[in-house]
Chain A
Amino acid sequence: MEFKFTQENLDKVNEAIKRYPDKLAAIMPTLWIAQEQNGWISNEVMQEIAKILEINPEDVLGVVTFYTMYHQKPMGKYHLQVCTNVSCMLRGAYDIYESVKKNLGIDNMQVTLDHKFSLEEVECMGSCGTAPMIAINEDFYENISLEKVNKIIDDIKKSA
């Protein structure tokens, strides 16, 4: 699928380029803008970014594969991230993770058939004081419990 930045996003990219003395440094912000527009980083996205920043596509690929937050495949509309690191684990994160898996019927890094949900077991998100936590897309849900997390998911399921 061909990928082109919208004019608005292209302006944002140009704004990002200005922040750094060379264009290569704008890879990360540009990838973020691309992911926001496209949902994930496809080959075409990488090609387009390489063209705009006048760098090799391999440089873009190297960055995309290094950082875990750039999705290399389409994710669900609601990307659920469950932290299972120590502080959350001590407060029952694995019970929540297992419950979410069961509720959605998917495993780590999988997407539901309707493309509504995807699940990821993530490392510490910096919510240790409000553990356990999950994040849905960009929003943190802290101090959650089994009931709360299932209610959140069920509410999303009911919504369009």
Chain B
Amino acid sequence: MEKIVLPEIKDFHLIDVYLANGGFNAARKAFGQSPDDIIDQVKKSGLRGRGGAAFSAGLKWSFMPKTTPKEKYLCVNGDESEPGSFKDRQIFEFNPHQLIEGIIITCYAIGAKTCYIYIRGEYHKWIKLMEKALADAYEQGFVGERMKEKFGTSFYCDIYVHKGAGAYICGEESSLMNSIEGKRGYPRVKPPFPAQFGLWGCPTTVNNVETIANVPPIISKGWDWFAKIGEPKHPGTILFGISGHVNKPGVYELPSGTLLTDLIYNYAGGIPGNKKVLCVIPGGSSMPPLRGDQLEGVKMDAESLKAAGSAIGTGGVMVMDEDTDLVKVLARIAKFYYHESCGQCTPCREGTGWMLKILNRILRGEGSTNDLDLLISVANNIEGNTICALGEAAAWPVKFMVERFRDYFEERVKKEVKLSVANKVHSMRTTEFPLSEISN
């Protein structure tokens, strides 16, 4: 199987090796065509965003205004804070120049002169590696003003690394832009969308690192080549990061549409001790979890996972074996979102805290069946009521975990209900509960 983003070539991260393997030829080819042609090719290739929403990359680029007196910007999102996701660091470490080349082509296509690569603050090592690669590319004239003579074109762009400082929310595109502007990472209300009003009010495109790294091969080998790889509706290879209870955790670049069971049992070497799978989260912790008995035939691409009741997310697969304490796992996930909620929207700020409190109560053995309904009720009241998608990210795991593992959770809570009237009424929203039973 051909690897597009992480080819198995020794020392590929060095610019000389990259050049010897046809590096920056795609950029050269791109400069011979019009920006609209590039956007058109990426659109036809079917490349979809790898950051979670799986939105068509070419379509996103086409939203950028063609004529504007303002500057245009490109942001490359390498915040990668989704628990279970650890793919972008592989690109920074093993293939930084393909990312740089992808950025150059993208900047040319959308007409941006400046690009910021936002890398999470914890990735000190990978920031240094990326900065080194950038310095090499600058030195050889592939980036910056000297591009003009190198490629014989009138276009040039600058690329900078912006180091984050430990906020999950900055992976959200509008929050990321606020963070680059030197503000608190609060997500912005949309619309206006970044393509109209982005960085410093200028048209901006935000793409994931992996998405951009896919661009050079599409240009050099053709969109029709790319469109044939994997599932037609979500073509290309995807970097799957598999972690948790598997024998060989790690990042595997595989065609989209690879079977989830194939990924777990063949590539990741199965479950230690040949245990059964209890639960799999297929796309990073904010995506709906799947039951162990739901996995047969599930393909790993956006459309198939949607049909299976989950989402591709960032392709971070977390596997839990039969001995896992799911309440503990869910409480830990809830704690994460409680910690990372930026606090702008009340449903998310308060709801994440309540979900954590309820889950901790269940963990202490003091939970009741009502708590399960209350959890779903709180989750439903967060979902869709917030500025950004962190609301959904916090609500989905709780809602779907409780719904899909109802039997498991009911075993962990008491049947008897000892709650105040208010809570009883509240819980009736989702379960049948005769009014006559409310006595006190």
| Chain A residues within CB distance 8 Å of chain B | 19-22, 24-29, 31-32, 59, 62-63, 66-70, 84-87, 89-91, 122-131, 135, 138-140
Given contacts A19-B160, A26-B182, contact A128 B316 (CB under 8 A): yes
Contact of B183 among A24, A31, A140 (CB under 8 A): A24
User: Is A87 a contact partner of B182 (Cβ separation < 8 A)?
Assistant: no
Contact of B336 among A124, A128, A139 (CB under 8 A): A124
User: Is B244 a contact partner of A90 (Cβ separation < 8 A)?
Assistant: yes
Contact of A68 among B124, B165, B281 (CB under 8 A): B165
Residues of B within 8 A of A68 (CB): 165-167
Size bin of chain B's contact surface: 35 or more
User: Is B165 a contact partner of A32 (Cβ separation < 8 A)?
Assistant: yes
User: Is B121 a contact partner of A67 (Cβ separation < 8 A)?
Assistant: yes
Given contacts A21-B200, A129-B249, A138-B124, contact A28 B162 (CB under 8 A): yes
A26 to chain B, nearest CB (A): 7
Given contacts A124-B82, A135-B122, contact A129 B184 (CB under 8 A): no
User: Is A32 a contact partner of B163 (Cβ separation < 8 A)?
Assistant: yes
| Chain B residues within CB distance 8 Å of chain A | 71, 80-86, 88-89, 120-125, 160, 162-168, 179-185, 200, 241-245, 249-251, 281, 285, 316, 318, 320, 324, 328-329, 332-333, 336, 339-340, 342
Contact of B122 among A22, A32, A125 (CB under 8 A): A125
User: Is B184 a contact partner of A66 (Cβ separation < 8 A)?
Assistant: yes
B21 to chain A, nearest CB (A): 26
Residues of B within 8 A of A135 (CB): 122
User: Is B165 a contact partner of A90 (Cβ separation < 8 A)?
Assistant: no
In the assembled complex, the Cα of A87 lies from the Cα of B242 at a distance in Å of 9
Residues of A within 8 A of B163 (CB): 28-29, 32
Given contacts A62-B184, A128-B249, A129-B251, contact A87 B83 (CB under 8 A): yes
User: Is B182 a contact partner of A126 (Cβ separation < 8 A)?
Assistant: no
Residues of A within 8 A of B342 (CB): 66
Residues of B within 8 A of A22 (CB): 181-182, 200
In the assembled complex, the Cα of A63 lies from the Cα of B183 at a distance in Å of 6
User: Is A123 a contact partner of B83 (Cβ separation < 8 A)?
Assistant: yes
In the assembled complex, the Cα of A17 lies from the Cα of B166 at a distance in Å of 21
In the assembled complex, the Cα of A24 lies from the Cα of B180 at a distance in Å of 9
Residues of A within 8 A of B167 (CB): 66-68
Given contacts A124-B81, A129-B86, A129-B249, contact A67 B185 (CB under 8 A): yes
